[in-house]
Amino acid sequence: MKIGLVLEQLHRDENDLAQQLLKISERHRVDHEIFHLGRDLAAWSQQHVREIAAIASRYGQDLDPRPREDNTLLEKLREKGSDLLGRDADAGLLLLRDLREVYIKACGVSADWELVAQAAQGIKHTDLLDVAQHCHAQNLRQMKWANGKLKESATQILVG
């Protein structure tokens, strides 16, 4: 059974997504909705990390239940950078890149959860299926958020 390997990958990918959401939040602090939602949605992925770790032991994986920590000094530097970038239209291009990155990472996580859900159904593990279903539902909302923000921001940044 290779479910453990998929869970290990998913654990890493959810951690990455949380990091990316925190990064976009800090870097674009002057875009207040990005700042606040980035943090809120990172918390979802961090919760998923805890839930994956809790259930992964049943599949032979010893995963860290604590979400990976960011370098706080780096955070502060980025925040400072954000304040400086606030009056610069080119910051918009960076925002589009960062949103695209969130979107792609969220898509990857989505594919991971689909794999887990399929496997859970195959072996009729309802606990694992429950985790997969509710985490995947939140993951799809993260994806739609990033996609929506991309669409909403693109025109002004690219032709404004």
Partner 1 sequence: MEGKCAAAAAVRAVFATGDELMGRIDRIAEPWGTRTPYPGGGTWPVRVDTHLAEGVSPQDVDRWVQTASILHSNGDAMDLAVKDNRIVGVRGRAGDRVNHGRLGPKDLYGWQANASPDRLTRPLVREGGKLVETDWETAMQRVVDRSKALLAEQGPSALGFYTTGQLFAEEYYTLGTIAHGGIGTNHVDGNTRLCTATAAEALKESFGCDGQPGSYTDVDHADVIALYGHNVAETQTVLWTRMLDRLAGPNPPAIICVDPRLTEVARAATVHLAPRPGTNVALMNGLLHELIANGWVDQDYIKAHTVGYQELEKEVAKYPPVLVAGITGVPAEKIQEAARILGHAERLLSTVLQGFYQSNQATAAAVQVNNVNIIRGMLGKPGCGILQMNGQPTAENTRECGADGDLAAFRNWSNDAHIQDLARVWNVDPMSIPHYSPPTHLMQMMRYAEDGSIRMLWVSGTNPAVSLPELPRIRSILEQERLFLVVQDIFLSETAQLADVVFPAATWGEKTGTFTNVDRTVHLSEKAVDPPGEARPDLDIFIDYARRMELKDKDGQPLIKWHDPESAFEAWKECTRGRPCDYTGISYAKLRGGSGIQWPCNEESPDGTERIYADGKFWAHPDYCENYGRDLVTGAPVEPTEYKALNPDGKAIIKAAEYVPPHELPSQDYPLQLITGRTLFHFHTRTKTARAPELQAAAPDVWVEVSAHDAGAHGLGEGDLAEVATPRGSVQAKVRIVGIRDGVVFLPFHYGYWDTPGGHHPDGAGRAANELTITDWDAASKQPIFKTAAARITRVRSGDGPASAPTNTASAPVGDFPGDARTRGIPSAMAFEDSPGGPGTGAPDDTATRQEGTL
CB-CB neighbours of 88 under 10 Å? 10
Q: Smallest distance from the beta carbon of 31 to partner 1, in angstroms?
A: 6
Closest C-alpha to 146, from 45, 71, 69? 45
Instruction: Give the three-class secondary structure for 54.
Output: helix
**Structure token digits, residue 131:** 């985790």
Check: CB of residue 79 under 8 Å from CB of residue 26: yes
Spatial separation of the C-alpha atoms in residues 72 and 66, rounded to whole Å: 16
Nearer to partner 1, 40 or 127 (CB): 40
Choices 7-15, 57-65, 71-79, 82-90 (CB under 8 A): range interacting with partner 1: 82-90
- Determine the interface stretch with partner 1 among 4-12, 26-34, 65-73, 107-115 (rule: CB under 8 A): 26-34
CB of 81 to partner 1, least distance (A): 15
If you ran DSSP here, which 8-state letter would residue 57 be given? G
Identity of the residue, 65 or 148, whose beta carbon is nearer to partner 1 in the bound complex: 148
**Contact positions vs partner 1 (CB under 8 A):** 30-33, 36-37, 39-41, 86-89, 91-92, 141-142, 144-145, 147-149, 151-152, 154-157, 159-160
